[in-house]
Amino acid sequence: MSRTRDVKAITTVYVCTNMRIGGNSCANQKSKAVLKALQVRADARASAGGAVVAVRPSVCMGYCEEGPNVKIMGGELLHNVREDDVERVLDAAETVTRD
């Protein structure tokens, strides 16, 4: 069983996976690949003793031309996120603390 399901996450990272018809959207800029990569690496980092970060899909964030968009709850809204950015996103998420 995944550790991220057993332990309360310090924060949640949302990845827009919205597909818009007739315009740019996160889904047609490979956001689902970013979501999957974030989920895999977040789970691996938590299993290795790192902070627990939940990663979830999201509806449109209103920045469709700048996707994929990723929101770290309590932290940054990131644009043009690529699979190569996954470690940087998770590093930023781990700095967020709950109130």
Q: Which of 2, 5, 7, 20 is the binder for ligand FES (CB under 6 A)?
A: 20
| Interface with ligand FES, residue 26, by CB under 6 A | yes
Residue (2 or 80) nearer to ligand FES, CB: 80
Q: Is 33 in the site for ligand FES (CB under 6 A)?
A: no
d(CA 80, CA 78): 7
Stretch that binds ligand FES, among 35-43, 44-52, 61-69, 84-92 (CB under 6 A): 61-69
Identified binder of ligand FES from the candidate list 61, 70, 81, 86, rule CB under 6 A: 61
CA quadruple 65, 23, 87, 89: dihedral sign? positive
Check residue 69 for interaction with ligand FES (CB under 6 A).
Answer: yes
CB-based contacts of 39, cutoff 8 Å, min separation 6 = 55
Instruction: For ligand FES, give the closer residue by CB, 16 or 51.
Output: 16
Question: Which residues sit at the interface with ligand FES, rule CB under 6 A?
Answer: 16, 18, 20, 25-26, 60-64, 67, 69
